[in-house]
Structure 1
Amino acid sequence: MADLEIDSLKSPTISIGVAEHGPSMSVEELISRVAALLYRAKKLGKNRCKM
């Protein structure tokens, strides 16, 4: 992502949270888990993926 050239952006970055949906997990729990991982990735710095 950092190497991608977009005229309107100087240096785009991406942070991602990824979680597995377990059989007993509700959609709300999954979204909460993914959101927590996303914010953890963002806190650790640019261009991160937390699982």
Structure 2
Amino acid sequence: MKILRLILSLIVIALSIYALITGTTEVMLPYLLLLAGLTLIVTGIIEFQKR
């Protein structure tokens, strides 16, 4: 799960940088929000399993 969180986080960062450089933020925003949401869900599952 931690590897999945790391991969999702890196994808979000890479897509954000790409969108800022190319100026296509309005096109990339839905995908960025979806991946950021998935990252938060995975983080929540990891923290829930710690308890």
TM-score by length of 2: 0.41
Q: Give the structure with the higher percent strand.
A: 1
Q: Give the structure with the higher percent helix.
A: 2
Structure number with bigger Rg: 1
